[in-house]
Amino acid sequence: MSAQERIGTKRLVVGAHYGTIDFIAQRVTAIIMAVYTLVLFFGFLFTPDMNFEGWRHLFTFTCIGLPVGQLLATLAFFSVAWHAWIGVRDIWMDYIHSAGLRLFLQVLTILWLVGAVVYFAKILWSL
């Protein structure tokens, strides 16, 4: 970077957000997934005679007529996709130095994850 691109003597203008949103999103989505994991785990533990019906109920239970089980699973899965996007994008940014190849892999990553979200939604909401 040449001296003309700096503001004042120190600050270098290189972008807008410096990754703050990604940093926070990675942690918030992690907490959501960890909490949902524990919800499923204790739901599993405290279901007497765990079988197909009990397992399915963890994802399909309703509360005052609302599909709470499906909603929780969907929200948790959005966290999975967002979290995975940031993580995998970081892997490409660290190891792939060719900008063209990196863009290609990032596009593939997005397609992969959007596909996973749609696949999951289809399984879950056809129950």
Which residues would be at the binding site for another protein (CB under 8 A)? 1, 6, 10-12, 14, 18, 27, 30-31, 34, 37, 51-52, 55-56, 59-60, 80, 84, 87-88, 91, 97, 112, 115-116, 119-120, 123-124, 127
Task: Using the minimum distance from each CB to another protein, give the nearer residue, 17 or 100.
Answer: 17
Q: DSSP strand E in the chain: where?
A: 6-7, 11-12
The answer for residues whose C-beta is within 8 angstroms of residue 103's C-beta and 6 or more apart is: none
Q: Cα–Cα distance between 69 and 62 in angstroms, integer?
A: 6
Q: How far is the CB of 58 from another protein (least distance, A)?
A: 9
Q: How far is the CB of 80 from another protein (least distance, A)?
A: 7
Q: Cα–Cα distance between 24 and 16 in angstroms, integer?
A: 16
